[in-house]
Amino acid sequence: MKLKSHPFEVFSFVVIVVLLCNSDALFKFKNIKCTCYEKSFCEVKRCELKVLGRGIIGLFLYAQANQLPISTATCVLTLYRRFNGYRPFLYNITVDVCYFLKNQNRYPFFGLVYEGINNFSNINHTCPYNHDIIVDRMVLDDKMIAKVPVPSGFYKLKFYLRTDGVSRGEVEVQVEVNLGYDR
Ligand SMILES: *[C@@H]1O[C@H](CO)[C@@H](O)[C@H](O)[C@H]1NC(C)=O
Ligand SMILES: *[C@@H]1O[C@H](CO)[C@@H](O)[C@H](O)[C@H]1NC(C)=O
Ligand SMILES: *[C@@H]1O[C@H](CO)[C@@H](O)[C@H](O)[C@H]1NC(C)=O
């Protein structure tokens, strides 16, 4: 368990136990939105969810980088949960991306999210970045939800990116978590 001394640790154990007893668990992409604020810095060439197979949804993102290299970056990652509209929920963390890539255990929640993207993206190396940012055919694995200590519901993850102190863009991904026991 990576979330050391965290109040939600107990809850995540409950989630794991429930998952083991239930095959209806569902962890699914619902929507994606990508924004580059300045064309001179980046352009969104692709930002979509596509059905890859029965019940399998893939995430595709291609952000063309127009100012390279990128050797410093700050990412604010905020989790929202839908009640009446989306409200901030549990996590709002500011991460020095280049530092994180060298010290991946420093930010446990960011680390979990990164672990989910890592295998499907060309971002999985240390700084600097000398290329466009690509996420290709990313799928969510139901097993991953066992590591994320949240109840069923609709969530939004917002990645807001800054480099050299300038706001560059944001990506919002909506996901549904359905653990199958509180419908
Ligand atoms: C999250 O944290 C950042 C940086 O501290 C702050 O600017 C932002 O307003 C916060 N967002 C929410 C939804 O609290
Ligand atoms: C990423 O790939 C590695 C090696 O193939 C695999 O062991 C790991 O489970 C994968 N992680 C995720 C989150 O898919
Ligand atoms: C990064 O991901 C690619 C697949 O997109 C994989 O081939 C490569 O081994 C990964 N590199 C690291 C350092 O995990």
Q: Which of 76, 80, 107 to mutate to test the pocket of ligand 1 (most atoms within 8 A of CB)?
A: 76
Residue 157, classed as helix, strand or coil, is: strand
The bridge status of strand 74-83 relative to strand 153-163 is antiparallel
Query: For position 179, what pLDDT does the model report?
Result: 81
Helix (H) or strand (E) holding 18: helix 9-20
Pairwise CA distance, residues 119 & 117, whole Å:
6
Pairwise CA distance, residues 75 & 93, whole Å:
8
Q: Tell me, in angstroms, the distance from the centre of ligand 1 to residue 68's CA.
A: 27
Q: Is the CB of 116 under 6 A from ligand 2?
A: yes
3-state secondary structure 61-120: EEEEECCCCECCCEEEEEEEEEECEEEEEEEEEEEEHHHHHHCCCCCHHHHHHHHHHHCC
Q: Which residue, judged by its Cα, is nearest atom 8 of ligand 1?
A: 92
Q: Is the CB of 87 under 6 A from ligand 1?
A: no
Query: For position 21, what pLDDT does the model report?
Result: 42
Report field, pTM of the whole predicted structure over 0.85: no
* Domain regions of the chain by residue span: 24-178
Give the closest ligand to the alpha carbon of residue 114.
2
Query: For position 129, what pLDDT does the model report?
Result: 95
The fold of 24-178 is Ganglioside M2 Activator Protein; Chain: A, (2.70.220)
The residue ranges of the chain whose pLDDT is under 50 are 1-3, 13-23, 183
Q: What is the CA radius of gyration of the chain?
A: 17
Pairwise CA distance, residues 44 & 63, whole Å:
5
Q: Tell me, in angstroms, the distance from the centre of ligand 2 to residue 115's CA.
A: 8
Place of tokens 């929920």: 89
